[in-house]
């Protein structure tokens, strides 16, 4: 009886997930990697199928295994790789990957090329089949790439070092691009019989494939994230777009003969980097969990699939193949060791450096997996090479995959223990121990209250203490050991990571904007890259300062309106940055005593945080004093977001308590989220109107006629300037004079004999000398954030001729200005 192919594929998926659940449950607490056991089960199923055991008893299972045995390499590449590579790159810390990019690129490109050449030389010298040089290079390319499918799945279980995991994952993610390019080139050479190829052509093709893949991934990522950014809290749409983008970018890149892997990694980094603030905060966690589940399913299926494929397809009755495999496996370890050893002097000096212990883990972690096998299956399926040669390549590749996963994979945990890399560094462990002590103190304070509780007082409290592993603290703060410099650095790094998380929490709660979150997170990551200094965070100052180009545009009347609008947006961003920064510093301050290894460091850190707070408070005070209407609009927006978030939480809680039925609650939630989306897309930051009180703007014009005061108000154009921004240069030609509306301005008159400085206050005039000479006598610079009202010279001169009081007042002030130097 023949069953439909779709039904057989569904059966294999169901059985794979069932086997995966049984294996995962059975391995709880055992030091055996999940993927290794799945591969062994797949091998066993393939061998049983090959022996015909299931043929008569279970025809449906027999046909299912036969279907799997005949699967094409394109299915492996197009069905599984997008999920596994996107999830792996999406879960990486973009900041850490960027920092280690030189090391990763060195291993993934020159390192793989060197390994390919050495493996080809080995095949040329030692294999008994007299392969051509092109065939040896072909084999070297497909067998040298470490596979992200195998490596990522394993390291998430046995590695406890984030940097080491990122290095191995990053190499395995990127070297596929190199391997596939080389494989395609050497495959063409081996099939056509061409003996040589121009090195320039190799380099140009490699650059085209990698750069082209990067551009396709970046463009697709930008489009997808722009679309996601227009969706508000709809997990179905946002997650669907991420899945579509991952598969579509791989398909497009491969169809264009570009690197699908590079395109996928680029796409994932767009989502994990700039895209993180575009994804709805409520969806972000769900999105990560979804991709983790997708990767788990793909890993479960693919390792069973690889095991069945190997057992069902490789020839098993040729002794020379077994002897060659016995030579190949240790030789590949030697070649990888030689490659890493050759690059080690550079690897030690690039990125985060590389110790001898981590280099050994890098060597042993060079597993081979589905990509190598898919490339070998491509040769077998295409039948462009002799069947005997294709079988030899498939056997050696499959044997290497099995040996590296089973031997290297199952012993990776022991190697990490032997090298001491399965434990946290001493500095980080000290932090963990301090937190454990805080937890112990907290539980100890709870116990007396619980022992008197009417429903708990009869408990066996000795047993309770044993159950929760509650122990007395043996080392208090005063008796703590002298902290090392590593402990101080670890403490600073942990505090910076806490600060970074504070920004993400503020973003999720709606109190911090997207752009502000990105900028503040980037500032923290720069601090992590350096000496991990907490403060003073002077790198914030350039973000608050007015950009040069904006100040230049505001000097031209035709551009003033647009430039002022941009300036107010910049001002609002600066306020948002300062407010979010202050909130994070307050939270940071509450953790110092818990994390600092000694009181001296705690006091130093506390001082640094105070410097940060003082700097941010100064900036906020300036904005509040100079632009109260702007602050009011921003705080109105923030308060509205907080209350809407709270309203949504209350509705969800009522639904959880069954007070509201789901349809009713959903309708209410849609209304709340509609208001939240409208608030998010509505700018509440507008350029303020001119003041309506002439006495505040022109205290010296109180005796002027009503029409004069009205003309001054109506024609006034108000512009805001940052602290230390030059408003007027000395001797510059002017067509306007100014009046200080808010803030303070420093006026500096310079002559060969002396220099005089005066601080102007609101109501005082700027550059009155332009009424006579058309030029400014002094340089005017913002002493604080300030607002200047500008009046055209022609208008002022006209009003002076019409109003003698105005003439008198301005002449008096002009005389004082002229006499100042």
pLDDT beyond 60 at 671: yes
Mean pLDDT of the chain: 82
Most confident option among 268-282, 333-347, 437-451, 554-568: 333-347
Going by pLDDT thresholds of 50, 70 and 90, the confidence category of residue 337 is: very high
Contact 149, 302 (CB under 8 A): yes
Contacts of 606 (CB under 8 A, 6+ apart): 589, 592
Predicted pLDDT of residue 268: 92
Predicted pLDDT of residue 271: 92
Contact 507, 514 (CB under 8 A): yes
Task: Return the CA Rg of the chain.
Answer: 35
Q: Where are the beta strands (DSSP E) in 734-811?
A: 736-742, 745-750, 755-760, 765-766, 779-782, 786-792
How many C-beta atoms surround the C-beta of residue 340 within 10 A?
20
Alpha helices in 690-820 (DSSP H): 694-697, 706-714, 770-773, 793-802, 804-819
Host H or E run for residue 719: strand 717-721
pLDDT beyond 90 at 116: yes
Tens-place pLDDT, residues 50-81: 877 767 677 788 888 888 878 888 888 888 88
Predicted pLDDT of residue 426: 63
Predicted pLDDT of residue 328: 93
Predicted pLDDT of residue 478: 42
Going by pLDDT thresholds of 50, 70 and 90, the confidence category of residue 683 is: low
Tens-place pLDDT, residues 17-35: 999 999 989 888 776 778 7
Tens-place pLDDT, residues 456-502: 878 887 888 777 776 555 444 444 455 556 678 888 888 898 999 99
Predicted pLDDT of residue 341: 92
Please state, for a pLDDT cut of 90, what percent of the chain lies above it: 16
pLDDT beyond 70 at 137: yes
How many C-beta atoms surround the C-beta of residue 200 within 10 A?
8
CA 484/CA 122 separation, integer angstroms: 49
Q: What are the residues facing 781 on neighbouring strands?
A: 726, 746
How many C-beta atoms surround the C-beta of residue 730 within 10 A?
16
Predicted pLDDT of residue 483: 52
The vertex-486 CA angle with 482 and 489, nearest 5°, equals: 110
**Closest C-alpha among 405, 359, 363 to residue 153:** 405
Contact 217, 253 (CB under 8 A): yes
Please state, for a pLDDT cut of 70, what percent of the chain lies above it: 90
Contacts of 397 (CB under 8 A, 6+ apart): 142, 143, 368, 372, 373, 375, 376
Predicted pLDDT of residue 477: 43
pLDDT beyond 90 at 222: yes
160-169, 224-233, 327-336, 448-457, range with the lowest pLDDT: 160-169
Host H or E run for residue 720: strand 717-721
What is the DSSP secondary structure assignment for residue 58, as one 8-state letter?
-
What is the token pair recorded at 550? 């904006």
Most confident option among 115-119, 615-619, 802-806: 115-119
Predicted pLDDT of residue 398: 86
Predicted pLDDT of residue 237: 92
CA 184/CA 195 separation, integer angstroms: 15
Predicted pLDDT of residue 331: 94
pLDDT beyond 60 at 185: yes
pTM of the model: 0.79
**Closest C-alpha among 223, 185, 228, 186 to residue 206:** 185
What is the token pair recorded at 99? 């920092």
Predicted pLDDT of residue 242: 94
**Closest C-alpha among 15, 184, 168, 11 to residue 88:** 168
**Closest C-alpha among 69, 35, 20 to residue 49:** 69
The residue whose two tokens read 């008159």 is: 749
3-12, 211-220, 511-520, range with the lowest pLDDT: 3-12
- Please compute the mean of the pLDDT values over residues 624-638 and round it to a whole number: 80
Predicted pLDDT of residue 817: 67
Predicted pLDDT of residue 479: 43
pLDDT beyond 70 at 248: yes
How many C-beta atoms surround the C-beta of residue 586 within 10 A?
12
């Amino acid at each position: 009886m023949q069953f439909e192919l779709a039904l057989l594929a569904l059966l294999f998926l169901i059985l794979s997930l069932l086997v995966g659940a049984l294996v995962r449950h059975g391995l709880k607490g055992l030091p055996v990697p999940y993927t290794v056991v799945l591969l062994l089960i797949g091998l066993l199923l393939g061998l049983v199928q090959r022996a015909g055991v299931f043929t008569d008893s279970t025809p449906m299972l027999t046909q299912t295994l036969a279907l799997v045995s005949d699967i094409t390499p394109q299915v492996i590449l197009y069905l599984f790789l997008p999920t596994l590579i996107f999830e792996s790159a999406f879960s990486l810390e973009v900041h850490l990957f960027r920092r280690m990019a030189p090391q990763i690129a060195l291993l993934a490109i020159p390192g793989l090329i060197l390994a390919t050449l050495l493996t080809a030389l080995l095949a040329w010298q030692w294999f008994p089949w007299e392969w051509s040089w092109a065939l040896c290079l072909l084999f070297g390319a497909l067998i040298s790439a470490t596979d992200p499918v195998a490596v990522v799945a394993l390291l998430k279980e046995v590695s406890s070092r984030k940097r080491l995991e990122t290095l191995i994952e990053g190499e395995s993610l990127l070297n596929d691009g190199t391997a596939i390019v080389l494989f395609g080139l050497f495959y063409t050479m081996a099939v056509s019989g061409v003996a040589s190829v121009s090195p320039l052509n190799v380099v140009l093709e490699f650059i085209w494939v990698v750069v082209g893949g990067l551009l396709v991934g970046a463009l697709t990522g930008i489009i997808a994230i722009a679309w996601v950014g227009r969706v508000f809290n709809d997990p179905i749409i946002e997650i669907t777009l991420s899945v579509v983008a991952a598969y579509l970018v791989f398909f497009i890149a491969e169809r264009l003969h570009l690197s699908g892997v590079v395109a996928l990694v680029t796409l994932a980094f767009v989502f994990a980097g700039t895209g993180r603030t575009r994804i709805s905060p409520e969806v972000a966690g769900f999105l990560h969990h979804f991709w983790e589940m997708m990767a788990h399913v793909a890993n479960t299926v693919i390792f069973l699939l690889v095991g069945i494929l190997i057992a069902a397809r490789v020839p098993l009755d040729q002794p020379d193949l077994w002897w060659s495999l016995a030579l190949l496996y240790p030789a590949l370890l030697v070649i990888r060791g030689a490659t890493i050893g050759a690059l080690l002097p550079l690897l030690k000096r690039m990125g985060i450096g590389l110790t001898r212990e981590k280099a050994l883990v890098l060597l042993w972690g060079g597993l081979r997996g589905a990509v190598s096998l898919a490339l070998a299956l491509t040769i077998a399926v295409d039948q462009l090479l002799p069947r005997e040669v294709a079988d030899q390549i498939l056997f050696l590749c499959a044997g290497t995959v099995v040996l590296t996963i089973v031997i290297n994979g199952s012993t990776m945990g022991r190697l990490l223990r032997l090298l001491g890399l399965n434990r946290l560094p001493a500095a980080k462990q000290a932090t963990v121990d301090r937190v454990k002590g805080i937890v112990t103190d907290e539980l100890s304070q709870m116990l007396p209250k619980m022992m008197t509780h009417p429903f708990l007082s009869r408990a066996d409290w000795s047993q309770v203490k044993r159950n929760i592993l509650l122990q007395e603290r043996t080392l208090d703060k005063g008796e703590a050991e002298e902290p090392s410099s590593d402990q101080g650095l670890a403490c600073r790094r942990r505090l910076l990571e806490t600060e970074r998380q504070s920004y993400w929490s503020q973003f999720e709660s709606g109190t911090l904007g997207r752009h502000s979150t990105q900028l503040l997170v980037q500032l923290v990551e720069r601090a992590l890259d350096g000496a991990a200094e907490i403060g003073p965070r002077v790198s914030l100052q350039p973000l608050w300062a007015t950009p040069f180009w904006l100040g230049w545009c505001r000097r031209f009347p035709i551009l003033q309106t647009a430039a002022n609008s941009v300036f107010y947006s910049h001002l609002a961003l600066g306020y948002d940055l300062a407010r979010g920064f202050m909130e994070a510093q307050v939270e940071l301050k509450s953790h110092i005593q818990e994390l600092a290894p000694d009181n001296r460091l705690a006091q130093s850190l506390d001082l640094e945080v105070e410097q940060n707070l003082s700097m941010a408070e100064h900036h906020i005070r300036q904005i509040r004093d100079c632009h109260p209407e702007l602050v009011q609009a921003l705080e109105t927006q923030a308060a509205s977001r907080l209350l809407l978030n709270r309203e949504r939480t209350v509705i969800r809680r009522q639904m959880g308590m069954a007070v509201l039925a789901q349809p009713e609650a959903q309708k209410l939630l849609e209304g709340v989220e509609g208001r939240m989306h409208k608030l998010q897309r509505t700018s509440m930051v507008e350029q303020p109107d001119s003041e309506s009180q002439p006495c505040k703007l022109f205290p010296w014009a109180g005796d002027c006629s009503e029409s004069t005061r009205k003309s001054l108000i109506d024609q006034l154009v108000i512009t805001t300037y940052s602290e230390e921004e030059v408003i007027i240069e000395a001797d510059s030609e002017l067509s306007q004079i100014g009046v200080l509306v808010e803030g303070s301005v420093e006026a500096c008159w310079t002559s060969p004999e002396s220099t005089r400085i005066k601080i102007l206050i609101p109501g005082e005039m700027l550059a009155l000398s332009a009424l006579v000479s058309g030029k400014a006598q002094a340089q005017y610079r913002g002493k604080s954030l300030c607002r200047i009202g500008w009046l055209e010279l022609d208008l002022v001169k006209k009003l002076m001729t019409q109003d003698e009081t105005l003439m008198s007042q301005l002449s008096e002030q002009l005389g004082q200005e002229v006499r100042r130097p």
